[in-house]
Amino acid sequence: MGTSMQEKLGVQPRRGLRLSDILVTVLVSLVFGVIYHFWGSVYNLFKPLFFEADELLYGMWFAAATLAYLLIRKPGVAIIAEVAAAHVEVLFGSGWGLTLLLYGLIQGLGAELVFAAFRYRSTSAWTLVIAGAGAAIGSMMMDFYYSYTDDLQTWMFLAKYGMRVISGAVIAGLLMLLLAKALDRTGVTSLLRPASKKDYEALDDARHV
Amino acid sequence: MNIWNPVRITWLHRANPVVKLGLIFALFFMTVLTHDLDFMMYQALVFMVCLVVLSGVKPWKMLLFFIPFLLAFISSSSSMMLFGKGETLWWEWGLFRVSEESFYRGLHLGFKGIAFASEGLLLVTTTSSVDLFYSLMQKLRLAPKYAYSFMASIRLLPMVWEEFVIRRQALKVRGVRPIRGVRNMVNRAGMYVVPLLAQSIRRAHRVAAAMEAKQFNGDQVKARTYYYPSRYSRYDLLVIGLLAAAACCAYVAAGYFPWFGIGDVRFD
Amino acid sequence: MSNATVSLFPAQSAEVQQEQAVQVEGLRLKYPGEERLMFKDLSFSAARGEKVLLLGPSGCGKSTLLQVLSGMIPRATEVPMKCEAQIVPRSWGYVFQDPDTQFCMPYVDEELAFVLENLSIPRDEMKERMQAALHEVGLNLEELHLPIGHLSQGMKQRLALASALLLEPEVLFLDEPSALLDPEGREQIWDAVKSVSEGRTLIIVEHRIEEMAKYVDRVVLFSPDGVILGDGPPAAVFAKYECELKSYGIWYPGVWEDYAQTRAGRELFAPVDAYGEDLGNLLHEAALPYPLDGEPVIRLEDFKGLRWDKPVISLPSAEVYRAEFIAVVGPNGAGKSSFLLSLMGLLRAQGTYVLCGEEVVQGKARKVRKKREQQLRQIGFVFQNPELQFLTERIGDEVVYSLLVDNMPAEEAKAQADRCLERFGLSGMENRHPYQLSTGQKRRLSVATAMARQPEVLLLDEPTFGQDARNTFAILEMCERLRRTGTAILMVTHEMEIAQRVATHIWEIREGQLTSSMASPRLCTGAESRQEDDGLNRAGESYDPSSASAAHLTGVNS
């Protein structure tokens, strides 16, 4: 039989990010950016509830990173997703200005490092929980520079960031896993998955000849 | 395409986006490293004035600025004021513990929030996305596949909003009733998010295919020609001078007319 | 190895010796996750300058083949494939189906510049080339810096064609470029295609072939499993494969006449007598006297639908009676959809609106809103995009949901939903996700969810838009069945054939006004027009349907 197209045209199945990977990541993240923007008002509603209850909602701001990873499953998308989402917030005139881009970068990095530690292979609930928490820790590091958080009373510091980590793990981790599964059921994500070796082998399958 | 739709064109609009971006980041680092309460307050004030003068947006839209400002102020300052560490105790009630140090630190953070917001808006209101990404490609060698992904996605975003509106109507037509409880809220959110994201993914995928059909090479930086040239001009110098002068004004004012006079809020 | 190509004309093989513009030999291709191969040892080629039309039922792989021929598969989209030999054209342009997903930039000039940038064309040549390309496709814009969003769908497709022309293509691949356009846009895009095709190879995939059937040199017909059935000059293929064309749902010239000859067609188009019964009613449902009684289902007086407090549609007075089928026609953006939305209470409305003898309350207060929602439950609504109307993750649950909302006991709902799915040809796939249906099936399911409730009034916003002939007829048959049970139907449509042959009345909306309302030929055939009694006909303007439909009625009939 003839040689496969891949060999012939010298096109290797690329592992890096393709245009469609980036475009899907960015568009999905922009949608999340709009959600982030409005999430701010929900967040502020929670403020008066009890001290720092708002931290329980903080995890939503890491959701783009984990969802984009679950969709594309390639290196780099978590960071791109968070920066893209933050970019929308900046565009809409957020009170945080360009700091958001840096927050996005470091939060995305937090999640990205976790995914990298699992070699971009795992999409288990634990991985997602750890990634969500990783993004929360990323945002905590930004807070050190930004707002003297080390000067908070110790118990307060622990409560604040404890809640944030939990929120990251639950919202960005578990909830996004549920969302990604719901998207998988619709079938659209099959557009984003690379073909497996098995699919290529099926071309030469004797049953088809 | 600029969502703020300015009606006046100022120097800031004419300056190169990359220069502005660099400038705003420089201001941003200055603000991060400012620990003097008076300097911070004057920065917030000066950049707010710059924003009103240079943004060129309609006055009623400027009101929209001040909402995030207020939020930035409150959310940056409140938790530090109420829960910050400090020696000189002013007021204590249950877990709340306002000390002199934490109060000023909170106030400092509030002004910092306003300064950040103003600096960010200076860039956002005067730069369209297309200009920004064209400049980033030409001056900072950003790979076109990233720049065009952003520009294409920004174009597609309003369609997602239209679909959101239709989805809301469709849910009403199908007789979906309002529901209570956290679990149901998550379900309902899913009813919106899943179809909208599914459509977005499909759409993004199609646009990517259409772009590649137009012989787009996402990594090509060198031979690519650009419809909008990105050049440096005298406006860049003017803007650099203007904003540097603004920062200096804030610094000098803080030296000569201190309001608080407590110096470094870290109290080290 | 099986080569299923049936060459109708042996003489063709001599021509194959000509220089090939595109060619693929022994193509095998399989989508990941699919059970079977899409193509099994398929060979296809087209000579330089040849105009080829690829026909086949949806899902037969025509579009995939186009992507393989252009090299998009596997270069841009990874799909496992292999072939023995292939010629990919040196330069080619591609126009896709959906006008909204072909552009990456917000303005016309920026989009065209994007193509020119890809080719590294110097900046000072860009404007000139843009203008030339736009001129070629007949888009004469005064200002190039125009938001693409301001263009009509037909203009967007011509812009897509213009940007393909900037690539100076030897071969043009057209993937159903007119499927999502109204008749006017369809005509324009094909005119543009014809005017640019000189000296170029054209490979066209389309299921609407009224405009192109006579223009192409060669038609290639695919079977549902991706095998080439027939290949030859259009007239010969149409003659030999008439049956297949019909069963594949292709819009060939004369499809409406042929359908009218069938049993289902005779029922669907059966003349309606304005004062007596449906003539020639062969359906088992009881025939309805017409009009049923003097009481209209919907009565509107001084009715206005508002968007942002501005009236977008106003009707001084109008009435809809039971068992009427009203085709709402008019140009794009005239307010047809807004009309339906305001009837459904999705836009704020003003004026008198009586539904089933009860005035629909207007107002914002919570109680009023609740009452209104309750009243409007008697109306069913079908949006254009079916996906946005699905609520569940199982096809079986979709219809059940509609019935449960109307407080039907669960078991009864289940049984009725099953019957409904069967009627719509969707039984056997209850467990699949609605999103995984084909576009035609999705559309049928969305219509089913609205029809199962047996509403007094059914509003449909272009339910046949972009559908193949088979699906269109199926949906219309469903509407007709429902109409015969007494439901009044209002359908926004651009297809004059529907307005003429299926509807009982035609309302025309222009610039937010109901400019004319008249009985359709279907009703007139039975008796005198009822328009005088309607109380809604305003003299002066009459609708001339003959001009709009003439284009479809002519043409070869196989």
Query: How far is the C-alpha of B86 from the C-alpha of A153, rounded, in Å?
Result: 9
Of B130, B173, B212, nearest to C72 by CB-CB distance is B212
Question: Is B65 touching A (CB cutoff 8 A)?
Answer: yes
Of the candidates C427, C425, C431, the one whose C-alpha atom is nearest the C-alpha of residue C415 is C427
Collapsed DSSP state (helix, strand, coil) of residue C527: coil
Indicate whether C79 pLDDT > 70.
yes
Say if residue C549's pLDDT is above 60: no
Question: What residue spans of A95-175 are helical by DSSP H?
Answer: 99-117, 125-147, 154-167
The four Cα atoms B21, B24, B30, B31 give a dihedral, to 10 degrees, of: -130
Q: Which of A26, A91, A99 sits opposite B124 (nearest CB)?
A: A91
Question: Which residues of C are less than 8 Å from A202 in CB distance?
Answer: 30, 37, 80
Residues of A in contact with B194 (CB under 8 A): 179, 182-183, 186
Least confident of A20-24, A97-101, C153-157: A97-101
C neighbour chains, 3+ CB pairs within 8 Å: A, B
Tell me which of A100, A105, A148, A174 to substitute to probe the interface with B (most B C-beta atoms closer than 10 Å). Answer: A148
Question: B211: which chain A residues are within 8 Å (Cβ-Cβ)?
Answer: 19, 23
Name which of B198, B203, B223 is nearest C101 (Cβ-Cβ).
Answer: B203
Phi and psi at residue C300, to the nearest 5°: -120, 135
Whole-number pLDDT of residue C537: 39
pLDDT (average), residues C220-235: 91
- Given a contact cutoff of 8 angstroms between Cβ atoms, the answer to whether B240 and B12 are in contact is no
The yes-or-no verdict on residue C111 having pLDDT over 80 is yes
The C-alpha atoms of residue C255 and residue C250 are separated, in whole angstroms, by 8
Which amino acid, one-letter code, is at C434?
P
Strand order in the sheet with C228-232: C92-95, C171-175, C201-205, C51-55, C218-222, C228-232
Please report residues of B whose CB lies closer than 8 A to that of C118: 214-217, 220, 224
Q: Which residues of A touch B64 (CB under 8 A)?
A: 93
d(CA C48, CA C61): 23
Provide the shortest C-alpha distance from residue B71 to chain A (in Å): 7
Alpha-carbon gap: B58 to the closest alpha carbon of chain C (Å): 21
> What tokens were used for B28?
């941003």
Of the partner residues C72, C113, C390, the one whose CB lies closest to the CB of residue B227: C113
Provide the sign of the torsion angle of the four alpha carbons A14, A19, A20, A21, taken in this order: positive
Scan for tokens 């002939």, then name that residue: C469
Q: Which residue is it, tokens 């049984």?
A: C415
Residue C557 confidence (pLDDT) above 90 = no
Q: State the Cα–Cα distance between residues C153 and C157, nearest whole angstrom.
A: 6
Tokens 């959906």, residue located: C98
Q: Is C298 helix (H, G, I), strand (E, B) or coil?
A: strand
- Phi and psi at residue C85, in whole multiples of 5°? -155, 150
Q: Which two tokens stand for residue C139?
A: 């888009």
Task: Say yes or no: B172 contacts chain C, CB-CB below 8 A.
Answer: yes
What tokens does C191 get? 């005119």
Residue B82 above 60 pLDDT?
yes
Query: C516: which residues sit within 8 A by CB, 6+ positions away?
Result: C506, C507, C508, C537, C538, C541, C542, C543
**Which residue on chain B is closest to A93 by alpha carbon?**
B121
Mean model confidence pLDDT for chain A: 84
**C549 or C396: whose pLDDT is higher?**
C396
Beta-carbon separation of B72 and A95 below 8 A: yes
| Helix/strand/coil percent split, chain B, to 5 | 70, 5, 25
If you average pLDDT over residues A129-139, what whole number do you get?
Answer: 94
Asked if the Cβ–Cβ distance from A20 to C76 is below 8 Å, we say: yes
Which chains does A contact via 3+ CB–CB distances below 8 A? B, C
pLDDT digits 0-9 by tens, C208-218: 888 888 889 99
pLDDT at residue number B53: 87
Q: Give C554's strand partners.
A: none
Residues B141-152: pLDDT tens digits?
Answer: 999 999 999 999
State the first-to-last Cα distance of chain A, in angstroms, to the nearest integer: 11
| H or E element that contains C160 | helix C153-165
Greater pLDDT, C529 or B83: B83
Q: Partners for B (CB, 8 Å, 3+ pairs)?
A: A, C
Amino acid (one-letter) located at A67: L
Mean pLDDT, range B2-13, rounded to an integer: 80
Please give the ipTM for the structure prediction: 0.88
Q: How far is it, in rounded angstroms, from Cα C249 to Cα A68?
A: 39
Q: Please name the residues between 12 and 71 in chain A that touch chain C, using a CB distance below 8 Å.
A: 13, 18-20
Does any CB of chain C come closer than 8 Å to the CB of residue A178? no
Residues in chain B: 268
Question: Tokens 């409150």 sit at which residue?
Answer: B74
B212 touching C (Cβ < 8 Å): yes
What letter would DSSP give residue A93? T
Domain ranges of chain B: 11-132+233-256, 144-213
Model confidence pLDDT, tens digit, residues B15-25:
999 999 999 99
| Residue entry with tokens 């110790």 | A154
Mean pLDDT to the nearest integer, A100-109: 93
Is the dihedral angle over the CA atoms B85, B87, B88, B94 positive or is it negative?
A: positive
Looking at A92-101, B45-54, C69-78, which range is the least confident one? Answer: A92-101
What is the distance between the alpha carbons of residues C177 and C2, in angstroms, rounded to a whole number?
32
Contact A209 C75 (CB under 8 A): no
Which residue of chain B comes nearest to A41, CA vs CA? Answer: B71
Nearest CB neighbour to C80, from listed A1, A20, A200: A200
Residue with tokens 């990105």, as numbered in its chain: B230
**Taking CB atoms and an 8 Å limit, are C78 and A186 in contact across chains?**
no
In CATH terms, A17-192 corresponds, of 2.30.110, 1.10.20, 1.10.1760, 3.90.320, to: 1.10.1760
CA dihedral A166, A168, A171, A172 (to 10 degrees): -150
Inform me whether the C-beta atom of residue B78 falls under 8 Å from chain A C-beta atoms.
yes
Contact of A197 with chain C, judged by CB distance below 8 Å, is answered with: no
Residue A174 clears pLDDT 70, i.e. is over it: yes
- Which tens digits make up the pLDDT trace of C473-524? 999 999 998 998 889 999 999 988 899 899 999 999 999 999 888 888 887 6
Provide the number of CB pairs (under 8 Å) joining chain B to chain C: 130
By Cβ distance, the residue of B152, B173, B224 closest to C104 is: B152
Q: Name the residue facing C435 among A3, A186, A209 (closest C-beta).
A: A186
- Higher confidence at residue C273 or residue A174? A174
What's the CA gap between C417 and C398, in Å, rounded? Answer: 9
- Residue B222's pLDDT is 75
Q: Is the dihedral of CA B207, B209, B213, B219 positive or negative?
A: positive
B 85-124: CB under 8 A from A: 85, 95-97, 101-102, 105, 109, 112-114, 116-121, 123-124
φ, ψ of residue C460 in degrees (nearest 5):
-130, 130
Interchain contact, C81 vs A193, CB within 8 Å: no
SS3 category, B23: helix
Q: Is C282 exposed, middle or buried (0-12, 13-18, 19+ CB in 10 A)?
A: exposed
Residue boundaries of the structural domains of chain A: 17-192
Partner residue opposite B120 with nearest CB, options A27, A34, A98: A98
Which helix (H) or strand (E) is C533 found in, with range? helix C531-534
What's the whole-number mean pLDDT along residues C161-183? 93
Size of interface A-B (CB pairs under 8 A): 185
Distances (CA, A) of C32 to A36, C13, C77, C79: 35, 35, 12, 7
Region C383-405: what's the mean pLDDT? 91
What does the DSSP 8-state code read for residue C325?
E
Q: What is residue A174's DSSP assignment?
A: I
Tokens of B16: 């190169």
Of C130, C102, C527, residue with least CA distance to C290: C527
Chain B residues 24-43 within an 8 A CB cutoff of chain A:
24-25, 28, 32
Quick check: A194 contacting C, CB < 8 Å? yes
Residues 6+ away with beta carbon under 8 Å from A57: A39, A42, A43, A46, A167, A171
Annotate C182-226 with DSSP letters as a single string. -HHHHHHHHHHHHHH-TTSEEEEE-SB-TTTTTT-SEEEEE-TTS
* Entry pTM: 0.88
In this complex, do A84 and B150 lie within 8 Å of one another by their Cβ atoms?
Answer: yes
Among residues B193, B199, A160, B92, which one has the least CA distance to residue C98? B199
Q: How far is CA C272 from the centre of its chain?
A: 26
* Average pLDDT score over chain C: 84
Element (H, E) at C509: strand C505-510
Those residues with Cβ within 8 angstroms of residue B245's Cβ, 6 or more apart along the chain or in another chain: none
User: In the structure encoding, which two tokens stand for residue A56, read together?
Assistant: 């329980």
Stretch C131-153: mean pLDDT: 92
Q: Is the Cβ pair B121, A93 closer than 8 Å?
A: yes
